[in-house]
Structure 1
Amino acid sequence: MDSLAGTEAQPRSTRCRHRAPPTRTRRTRFVCVSDTHNTTVKLPKGDVLIHAGDLTNQGSFSELSRAVAWLEKAPFEAKIVVAGNHDLTLDAPFYALHGPHFHNQAPQSPSDCLALLTSSTSITYLNHASARITLTSPSGPRTSFSVFGSPYSPRNGLWAFSYDTPPQSQTTLTPADLPALWDDIPLDADVVVTHTPPRTHRDESRLRRATGCEALRRALWRVRPRLAVCGHVHEARGAERVTWDLGCANTAFKEDGVAGWEDPGVGGKQSLVDLTARGGRALENDGSVTVV
């Protein structure tokens, strides 16, 4: 009551007209990188940093220490990281079998290497797992989203986090032919981060072959996240919008169209993808996914 002393009550309609305007919100800016392989590049400003794997060349403690220090210094409110096939020590079962092939003179400790990421207070490390990210900074967008992250990629040589897939020559695939690991992506995932790309999306190799995973592509059709971030195939960098054909009752996993962004070129350091109305490619509630 003391706070009202000396004031004159106003009519209800007048008080309503003088309410403070609603707090303005801004868009969330994601900075997505992958396959940095021991380089500590200068990062653009943003709210959320996503690293889609291959922080290192062979996953040694010293390599990972430098990578984690670089990530921890980056001024982002949230930092989401998955491993890649080159981050060997983060796949403890693989390293137990094949570690001497890479570090025979100086064996590494997978538990010590993993602790660099899991003990970080500023990094969300996802090993085929989900998390809820909530941005609370007063100067930030104050958004919240669910994310699933996984380090796995189809087997190609002796590398970590690998799984078997049908041969490229097999054109007719049944669910029994495909790996089941991507069934673990929850339906409420807003963002999916994988080291491997989905098949036929950001996965074309120098040999002009699609090297991505068909099971992951089908999982993205099922989940339909707003953003899918991947890496692994260096020469396939870029971004595209995939629209699923959800009106065809008899054909699952069908795509209605793909719209791509042009890569800035060999000398380009980054691609800016504006998913707002101002950028002309606003996200819509149409089941489409942006793959970067």
Structure 2
Amino acid sequence: MDQAPRPLKRTRIVCISDTHNQTPKLPKGDVLIHAGDLTNQGSFSELEKAVRWLEGTDFEKKIVIAGNHDTTLDANFYRENGAYFHKNHPQDTEACLKLVKDSPSITYLNHESATVRLTHPSGPHTAFKVFGSPYSPAHGLWAFGYTADQASSIWSDIPFDTDVVVTHTPPRGHCDTASPGSLGGCEALRRALWRVRPKLAVCGHKHPGRDVERVKWRLDSKNPSLKYMEDETKAWDDPGAGMGNKKESKVDALMGRMGRKETCIVNASYQATSYGAHKRFNKPIVVDIDLPVWQGEG
């Protein structure tokens, strides 16, 4: 006899990425997801500032991954290239990793999974499995890079039963605008999302790609091309867009009752412009999503 499906309840997830040593004020939510690039170059002082900011935010769970700018969190990379970033002041990678790994309120994921249960008395009492990874296609001298021939192997590590995928890189063709007319996402990651079909995929890395798309997958396709793997992509009309707009940048991703047919892809890059004296910043993206209630299980 089939077990009855667990009831679903709306859960509010606040998504942000690419803060690069900024500490913005965040909207309220149940869960915070930071998709990498906490710092500019990964120094201990930068990471300490970021961790203190994250620990001071009011969320029951805080899920954090690194990005290519968080150089000291990639110990092997920093061992070979650290002098390029901190020639006169080498950083202690063990101390830097300890900051994020030992934080009592941060779930730090380094290409690994975790099961999250919300238990606060006033919370939604939902549960989900999350996979988080800092990797992105190698470009320049930055951390956590991989080559094209490594991509498929890396993203095959995402478990089939993952509900939320957090990666620094976006998938190819979705929220991955690198510059006008240029895309910078990973094709192997897009194929992995089609295979797993998580409810939510959060990324960053490509600042101009900040956006939300809801992708409906073709479940019967064996052709790996974009045309045959996806039925449709629904665009997002940001309610918080525009100067002086005080509304939240929010999306209702309530496709939980659809089963594993759709994925809400969110590029939550906070930094809108990278250089110059007049930097611009985006609002964090708030995702309201249906997740299964765990309360009452044995």
TM-score, structure 2 as length reference: 0.81
Contact 1:164 1:179 in 2 (8 A): no
**Identity level (%):** 58
- CA-based RMSD of the aligned residues comes to 1.9
Q: 1:291 to 1:65 in 2, by over 3 A?
A: same
User: Given the alignment of the two structures, is residue 288 of structure 1 paired with residue 288 of structure 2, yes or no?
Assistant: no
For 2:210, give the aligned amino acid: R
User: Given the alignment of the two structures, is residue 44 of structure 1 paired with residue 17 of structure 2, yes or no?
Assistant: no
The residue that corresponds to 1:185 in the other structure is: 158
**In structure 1, the residue corresponding to 2:10 is in which secondary structure?**
coil
Consecutive unaligned residues of structure 2, counting only runs of 5 or more, are 1-6, 267-298
**In structure 1, the residue corresponding to 2:14 is in which secondary structure?**
strand
User: Given the alignment of the two structures, is residue 251 of structure 1 paired with residue 223 of structure 2, yes or no?
Assistant: yes
Q: Aligned residue pairs: how many?
A: 254
1:74-223 alignment runs, 5 A limit: 74-165=57-148, 178-223=151-196
Task: Provide the rounded CA distance (Å) in 2 between the counterparts of 1:26 and 1:148.
Answer: 21
> Larger strand proportion, structure 1 or 2?
2
TM-score, structure 1 as length reference: 0.83
Q: 1:207 to 1:275 in 2, by over 3 A?
A: closer
The residue that corresponds to 2:249 in the other structure is: 271
1:80-103 per-position Cα deviation (integer Å, ceiling 9, x unaligned): 000000000000000000000010
TM-fit CA distance, 1:27: 1.2
**In structure 2, the residue corresponding to 1:289 is in which secondary structure?**
strand
Contact 1:241 1:259 in 2 (8 A): yes
Task: Provide the rounded CA distance (Å) in 2 between the counterparts of 1:244 and 1:271.
Answer: 25
User: Given the alignment of the two structures, is residue 65 of structure 1 paired with residue 48 of structure 2, yes or no?
Assistant: yes
Task: Provide the rounded CA distance (Å) in 2 between the counterparts of 1:259 and 1:165.
Answer: 28
Q: 1:145 to 1:25 in 2, by over 3 A?
A: closer
Contact 2:199 2:256 in 1 (8 A): no
1:130-183 per-position Cα deviation (integer Å, ceiling 9, x unaligned): 0000001110000010000000000110000000127xxxxxxxxxx8531000
The residue that corresponds to 2:286 in the other structure is: none
**In structure 1, the residue corresponding to 2:51 is in which secondary structure?**
helix
Task: Provide the rounded CA distance (Å) in 1 between the counterparts of 2:175 and 2:30.
Answer: 24
For 1:188, give the aligned amino acid: D
Contact 2:43 2:72 in 1 (8 A): yes
1:220-235 alignment runs, 5 A limit: 220-235=193-208
The residue that corresponds to 1:12 in the other structure is: none
TM-fit CA distance, 1:238: 1.2
Partner of residue 215 from structure 2, selected from 234, 242, 260: 242
Task: Provide the rounded CA distance (Å) in 2 between the counterparts of 1:25 and 1:188.
Answer: 17
TM-fit CA distance, 1:266: 5.8
Q: 1:282 to 1:191 in 2, by over 3 A?
A: closer
TM-fit CA distance, 1:25: 7.9
Contact 1:275 1:283 in 2 (8 A): no
Structure of higher RCO (CA pairs closer than 8 Å, 6+ residues apart): 2
1:16-73 per-position Cα deviation (integer Å, ceiling 9, x unaligned): xxxxxxxx98511000000000110000000000000000000000000000000001
Contact 1:61 1:113 in 2 (8 A): yes
**In structure 1, the residue corresponding to 2:165 is in which secondary structure?**
strand
